[in-house]
Amino acid sequence: MVNIAHFIPVFPFVAFWLNIIFGCRLGVACAYVSVGASAISAVLAVLVFMGLQAGGGSYVLTPWLSVNGHPISLGIIVDSLTVMMLLVVTIVGTLIQIYSIGYMGGDPRFTRYFAYISLFMSSMLGLVLVDNLFLLYIFWEGVGLCSCLLVAFWYEKPAAAAAGIKAFITTRVGDTGLLLGILLLMSVGHSLRFADMSVISAPEPLMVLAALLIFMGAVGKSAQFPLHVWLPDAMEGPTAVSALIHAATMVAAGVYLVARCYPLFTAHPLALQTVAVIGAISAVMAASIACFANDIKKVLAYSTISQLGLMMLGLGAGGYTGGTFHLMTHAFFKALLFLGAGSVIHAVHTQDIRAMGGLFNKMKVTSVTFIIGALALAGVAPLSGFWSKDEILTAVWQHGNLGLFIAAVTTSFLTAFYMTRLILLAFFGESRGAHKAHESPAVMTMPLVILAFFALFLGFAGSPWAHHAFQRFIAPEEGEVALDLGMAVASTVIACAGILTAFLLRGKFLGYKEGTCALIENKYYFDEIYDALFVKPFHRLAAAVARFDQVRVDGVVNGVSRCVQELAQASRSLQTGLVENYLLAQAGGVFVLIVVVTLVGKLCHIF
């Protein structure tokens, strides 16, 4: 069953072309094309999952390209990590597409939306299936493109158009690192296959550099410090897109990449340590910003950066299972939270949580599922987030670096805090807007309920009651796993502390005066710094180059032509018509010729 895996991305890809070419004629039916294709992929993914019991493996479809004598084949890898990603992407993707039928209903570019989503699905599925870095890079850029197109989906809005471009260019900075890493790995390691990652032998500094360059790609895609600035802006896209691409799947691709190249990182402690530190910085920084954000989507966006940072931290601390487990659980509950936020925005037509309030009674399904998602994110036992976050905390603790552990604990605390704040402001208290909120249609709430189910129970796959099925599945070679009870208690206490703090401070949220924590409220001024450091100089440099080109380079060209003309004018006066002058010139010319011929002869002799 495993060798049908390569068909999984094909269906969404066909759906993309169907919708692009026949979209106008299909009308609303194009949604069914996309959802259907995605559902078929999900079924295939489940089949592959069941077939995996008989053993995974990789197989080559066709040789594709040869670089420097090394073949790059269209190869497929099917192992537990890939299958986990396949399941996450297809299941979450299908649910979000069903939700989109309602959420995007009535949009003039409804068909275009589903076309892009299908293209995204096929790229994302291809990304997790291929067995080497080069092909991964191709799909990596593919998902980046879809992200850009979907962020700028409402391109009439200048903010959306700018955000789309910012997303693409910022991630491209990271991707360029990835590309150089690929080239370096190819030239010193002679293989790009993931299966060979553990056996590549090359000089240590070069391998560390390669690992760091690859990680640079992951930093861009997973919106980690210092390339995180695009993700909050990307919230300009439709909320369902934020759920699918900017929460559950694409941004997790960076974590996937690190997990996929894990042997490369573990072999070089410096690289692994960098992953942990970058993850820790991102986690704490983003979580702190989320505490002050008032836009419901921005809170979730910073939360995503923070949680991805936590996954990176887990991986960097040696917690392979923790990082991948959290990737999986996070995909479900963060998708749930975004879709819930979409449902809320759909109802109240504002994204400012200060203008919401009292939605609990008006939107029961949305509220309950959202709270489930928030509790899962906060890491309250026994919801899914608890189990995976606990794994990470345990790994970081065992790693032994106290600073990293404090970062992880702080993140957990802040996460519980800002989610509680968000819920208190949005769903409870007095209604503060002039809106008439109502529950969303079933096509939107049904996916919420299903995702809430996952948020509730998925964590049990990694619990002692399921005999740590997830851990044995994802890393069978790691042997016995046991729940660290002390850590579980500590983690619960931290989460509860965060929630409690938010409850205690709830009276102050609305009356909070802006500017008290200007540094954090302004997102540590990253946008302003980058603008001054990169964007403006880029524009200035381009203008300078263009001016230089016109004035200097072309000026020389035109100058040469003017010189020739003037020389011609000047030489007219030589034609005096006096024979004596010509004879004199002739004699001089003969003399010069003799000198030149002699000299050249000598020079040639030397050569």
Partner 1 sequence: MPYFLTAIIFMPLLGAALIALIPAAQVRSIRLTAVAFNTAVLAAVVVLGLNFNRHTGLMQCLEDRVWIPQAGIHYTLGVDGISLALVFLTALIGLLAALASGGIVKRVKEYFLVYQVLMTGLLGTFLALDLVLFYIFWEAVLIPMFFLIGIWGGPRREYAAWKFFFYTLAGSVVMLVGILAVYFSVTPHSFNMIEIARSSSMIPGGVQAVLFLMFFFAFAIKVPVFPFHTWLPDAHVEAPTPVSVILAGVLLKMGTYGLMRICVPFFPAGAVLFAFPLAILGAVNLIYGAFAAFAQSDFKKMIAYSSVSHMGFVLLGVAALNVTGFNGALLEMFNHGVITGAMFLLVGVIYDRAHTREMSAFGGLASVMPRYAFFLTFMSLASLGLPGLSGFIGEFLALAGTFFRFPSIAAVSAIGLIALVALFLVIIKKVLWGKPAGHASYPDMNAVEISVMLPLVALTLCVGFYPQMILQFQTYAVNALVGLL
What six digits make up the tokens of 308?
């991805």
Shortest approach of partner 1 to residue 21 CB, angstroms?
10
What kind and span of H or E run contains 301? helix 296-316
* 191 in contact with partner 1 (CB under 8 A): no
Position 442 contacts partner 1 (CB under 8 A):
no
**Contact present, 22 and 37 (Cβ < 8 Å):** no
Nearer to partner 1, 9 or 340 (CB): 9
What values do phi and psi take at 62, rounded to 5?
Answer: -160, 145
Nearer to partner 1, 180 or 496 (CB): 180
Query: Which residue, 113 or 333, is less far from partner 1 as judged by CB?
Result: 113
Nearest to 110 by CA among 24, 35, 239: 24
Does a cis peptide bond (omega within 30 degrees of 0) precede residue 447? no
CA–CA distance, 546 with 510 (Å, rounded to integer): 51
Minimum distance, C-beta of residue 12 to partner 1, in the bound complex (Å)? 14
Q: Check residue 141 for interaction with partner 1 (CB under 8 A).
A: yes
275 binds partner 1 (CB under 8 A): no
Strands (E), 116-222: none
Binding partner 1 by CB under 8 A: which of 4, 43, 67, 594?
67
Q: Which of 43, 549, 566, 600 binds partner 1 (CB under 8 A)?
A: 549
Spatial separation of the C-alpha atoms in residues 344 and 364, rounded to whole Å: 11
Closest distance between partner 1 and the C-beta of residue 361, in Å?
39
Residue 168 engages partner 1 in binding (rule: CB under 8 A): yes
d(CA 187, CA 70): 10
Q: Of the ranges 238-246, 438-446, 543-551, 585-593, which one interacts with partner 1 (CB under 8 A)? A: 543-551
Sole binder of partner 1 in the list 469, 557, 593, 594 (CB under 8 A)? 557
CB nearer to partner 1: give 73 or 463.
73
Residue choice 47, 161, 270, 510 for contact with partner 1 (CB under 8 A): 161
Question: Which of residues 55, 106, 158, 601 is near partner 1 by CB under 8 A?
Answer: 158
Region near partner 1 per CB under 8 A, out of 138-146, 400-408, 409-417, 593-601: 138-146
The DSSP code for 440 is P
Which residue, 489 or 543, has its beta carbon nearer to partner 1?
Answer: 543
Closest distance of CB 226 from partner 1, Å: 15
d(CA 94, CA 293): 30
- Out of 50, 402, 469, 553, the only residue in the binding site for partner 1 (CB under 8 A) is 553
270 binds partner 1 (CB under 8 A): no
- Does 383 bind partner 1 (CB under 8 A)? Our answer is no
Site for partner 1 contains 493 (CB under 8 A): no
Instruction: Return the sign of the alpha-carbon dihedral for residues 585, 587, 590, 592.
Output: negative
List residues bridging with 304 in a β-sheet.
none
- Taking the CA of residue 559 as centre, how many other CA atoms within 13 Å lie in the half-sphere pointing to its CB? 7
What single-letter DSSP state applies at residue 245?
Answer: I
Q: Is 449 in the site for partner 1 (CB under 8 A)?
A: no
Total residues in contact with partner 1, by rule CB under 8 A: 48
Q: 350 by DSSP, 3-state: which?
A: coil
Q: Min. distance of Cβ 23 from partner 1 in angstroms?
A: 10
Contact 362, 279 (CB under 8 A): no
Structure-token match 């293209």, residue found? 119
By C-alpha distance, which of 430, 423, 439 is closest to 380?
423
Cβ 51 vs Cβ 63: under 8 Å: no
d(CA 294, CA 300) in angstroms, rounded, equals: 10
The sign one gets for the Cα dihedral 406, 409, 414, 417 is: negative
DSSP 198: T
151 binds partner 1 (CB under 8 A): no
User: Within positions 520 to 539, which residues make up the interface with partner 1, using CB under 8 A?
Assistant: 538-539
CB of 213 vs partner 1, minimal distance in Å: 10
**Which residues 2-31 are close enough to bind partner 1 by CB under 8 A?**
20
Q: Which of 55, 69, 203, 511 binds partner 1 (CB under 8 A)?
A: 69
Q: Indicate the DSSP class of residue 429.
A: S
Among 29, 43, 519, 542, binds partner 1 (CB under 8 A): 542
Judged by CB under 8 A, the stretch of 197-205, 312-320, 456-464, 547-555 that binds partner 1 is 547-555
Is 176 one of the binding residues for partner 1 (CB under 8 A)?
yes
Residue number, 525 or 534, with CB nearest to partner 1: 534
CB of 337 to partner 1, least distance (A): 29
Q: Which of 26, 46, 47, 183 is the binder for partner 1 (CB under 8 A)? A: 183
Q: Six-digit token pair at 522?
A: 């302004």
Look up residue 65 and give its DSSP letter: E
In this structure, the strands spanning 70-78 and 57-67 are antiparallel
As measured in angstroms, the least distance from the Cβ of 383 to partner 1 is 39
Tell me if 152 contacts partner 1 by CB under 8 A. Answer: yes
Among 239, 278, 286, 233, CA closest to 255 = 278
- The reply to whether omega before 12 is within 30° of 0 (cis) is no
137 binds partner 1 (CB under 8 A): yes
The CA–CA distances, whole Å, from 266 to 217, 251, 255, 261, 382 equal 18, 22, 15, 9, 31
Applying CB under 8 A, the residues found at the interface with partner 1 are: 20, 64-65, 67-69, 137-142, 145, 148, 152, 155-156, 158, 161-162, 164-165, 168-169, 172-173, 176, 179-180, 183-184, 186-187, 538-539, 541-543, 545-547, 549, 553-554, 556-557, 561, 607
